Structure 1
């Protein structure tokens, strides 16, 4: 009886330790998420464009200050409102649409009673299961572009002055791509010091398109509508540098009766870089929601959800699955000898050993500290035992921290539990695998134990 009470006390103590480790992990994950959100918010707040985040029903969840300044409204005037309530519906002009992206321009209502034309680039946000959960929208003020196009049509003198001094690239070409005129901004966008140098470039404007099909599509749109606005295309300079351009162009007729193209080109390369950074930041945020930042293994949040799915699937298919709970042997000695940084690197390398010896749908989980869980779908107990022995052997044969000029050998204690043979729920399954591992620890470590032991 005394031994049972002593064992129960140890188990209770271990449970408290695990609960504390889980709390520490939760705090660490929360800190990482808050840092990612902070970086994401800084990018959004400092962008020169308006930004909206919408839910799946196109209601506005959040916006940046640039958008509020564009329309002259307060945040409470727009948040929780459908985006379509903010613009004149009859003014909508769609440039591009598919199931993931929508580019359109519309006149947005301003607080002073007027309207402002904005280009809206909406992209779908999906969760880890690829289900749509909302949208993010970048909004660009088109007032200057529209005014410029009006001026091109109405005032020749103003057109020529603007053509020479405009920040945007302006150009004229023949239909077959020969450059007729270009302003300094257009020449500078493609790496030329002077417009004359650019006009003498033998490749013509067609040589600036990364894909010739993109220019053919622009020509087809011009022939069909005479005018194209905000056509976004990937272009390339003679030195090989990529230019993401937004082109507004129209067909015009010269004094000789020949048709030519004149247009405005805006270099959107920096904006595309910012959008790509934002996209990667979102991807990293979603990745960290289910992965351990140190080892890149899955985290316990993913483990618990996955186990619930595996249990349901096992009940449907009558196929078992196994958990391998493992704890590194004498890991504190490694940290005390070689330092915390090398200790962290050792855990990363051990995680790599797991990945090399796990084939999907099997996966590894960083459970906390120097503890890990291996999930083996479809594995009965004997299969799981054999696989755990194989991984144990691989660990013992591997020399770790060689990249740091060290030769460290490590081992671990393993415990196995199988569903549904050993337990009927995830908590019991984890507890039994943990108990099996601790029996190995108490018997000398560096071995594999099963449930029941």
Structure 2
């Protein structure tokens, strides 16, 4: 084992940019690796030949438990193919260094995020892999949180406008490829400016927050909801024709209409209020581009407004294309 350790220490330090001529003894290398705050290991044929204390701490195993153990035992099944291919390339020397991130499995069953550097080197005439492991679970959680914050509206916890356009573009490409229907709902709270002016923005925010909850609770898992801006919201409904989308939209409208709000007025008096919304919808057509698609839903919403609000209105293109008897104009309210 001593020869392997010396080779390992040298390979690790070279990988870290250390000039071995400036180091006095192999004992110094050993102390550095044993005290290193990175997990370090060596494998041959996919099995452990060496692990340092930090590696064993990260994964919760003893030295004896890891000796000759298959490294694949420490990686979640869904990432096994990437790990196997990486090790194969490194051991034969196809690549000299590579860095990957994996979901790893501790001895206690806990799944953690790790970053692994793989370095090819020769030991006893055979290819081996030196690995440097860092646990990055907290970093990944922070990254995920920042990503969510970048695409999420803080007040309603729905996706934001930027994410809406990004996702809609993907859904349009998907519906073109698979020829599946795709519908879009655009809604706006009726007379919301008056409500804000009367009761203040704090009470108005409560309404927006509640509406976000209502939308989330009344769409399917495959649907995605967004705060489009101000009091406007939108829902993308994949694999959904406009008549089915109408049912979803009308369900949201009814639940919102029947929700009671208790805003405070002057001198702290509490009053009861009900609000309504106007909803427009459109179904994607291959002749549309993204801008047309959104505009048709927006035009339909505007028509719901001028008809008095508290309505769901499909764009007229949808109605004209419907077979007789499937849709009656009376359904427009």
> In the TM superposition, what is the alpha-carbon distance from 1:219 to its structure 2 partner?
5.7
Matched-pair contact (CA < 8 Å) for 1:353–1:395: yes
Relative to structure 1, is the Cα distance of residues 277 and 219 closer, same or farther in structure 2, using a 3 angstrom cutoff? closer
1:442 matched to 2:306? The reply is: yes
1:109 matched to 2:18? The reply is: yes
Matched-pair contact (CA < 8 Å) for 1:345–1:401: no
Distance 2:303 2:152 in 1: 29
Distance 2:247 2:179 in 1: 21
Matched-pair contact (CA < 8 Å) for 2:297–2:315: yes
Question: What is aligned with 2:276?
Answer: 411
Distance 1:293 1:413 in 2: 23
> In the TM superposition, what is the alpha-carbon distance from 1:411 to its structure 2 partner?
1.2
Given the alignment, which residue of 145, 167, 172 partners 1:311? 172
Relative to structure 1, is the Cα distance of residues 223 and 380 closer, same or farther in structure 2, using a 3 angstrom cutoff? closer
Distance 2:263 2:63 in 1: 59
Question: What is aligned with 1:361?
Answer: 222
Relative to structure 1, is the Cα distance of residues 279 and 407 closer, same or farther in structure 2, using a 3 angstrom cutoff? farther
Q: Give deviations 1:138-177, integer Å, cap 9, x for gaps.
A: xxxx9xx9xxxxxxxxxxxxxxxxxxxxxxxxxxxxxxxx
Instruction: Please give the secondary structure, in 1, of the residue aligned with 2:256.
Output: helix
1:237-256 alignment, distance < 5 Å = none
> In the TM superposition, what is the alpha-carbon distance from 1:299 to its structure 2 partner?
1.6
Distance 1:439 1:416 in 2: 11
1:32-431 alignment, distance < 5 Å = 91-92=10-11, 108-109=17-18, 117=32, 119=36, 121=38, 214=60, 217-218=61-62, 220=64, 278-400=139-261, 407-420=272-285, 424-431=288-295
Relative to structure 1, is the Cα distance of residues 448 and 113 closer, same or farther in structure 2, using a 3 angstrom cutoff? same
With structure 1 as the length reference, what TM-score do the two structures score? 0.42
Distance 1:218 1:291 in 2: 43
Distance 1:299 1:407 in 2: 30
Instruction: Please give the secondary structure, in 1, of the residue aligned with 2:151.
Output: coil
Matched-pair contact (CA < 8 Å) for 2:224–2:236: yes
Q: Give deviations 1:104-128, integer Å, cap 9, x for gaps.
A: 9975438x96699473649xxxxxx
* Pairwise CA RMSD: 4.1
Distance 1:223 1:284 in 2: 37
Distance 2:215 2:199 in 1: 22
> In the TM superposition, what is the alpha-carbon distance from 1:323 to its structure 2 partner?
0.6
With structure 2 as the length reference, what TM-score do the two structures score? 0.56
Q: Which has the higher contact order (CA 8 A, sep 6+)?
A: 2
List runs of 5+ in structure 2 lacking aligned partners. 1-6, 40-51, 54-58, 69-105, 109-134, 318-333
Distance 2:188 2:67 in 1: 70
Relative to structure 1, is the Cα distance of residues 113 and 400 closer, same or farther in structure 2, using a 3 angstrom cutoff? farther
Matched-pair contact (CA < 8 Å) for 2:219–2:248: no
Report the count of equivalent residues: 222
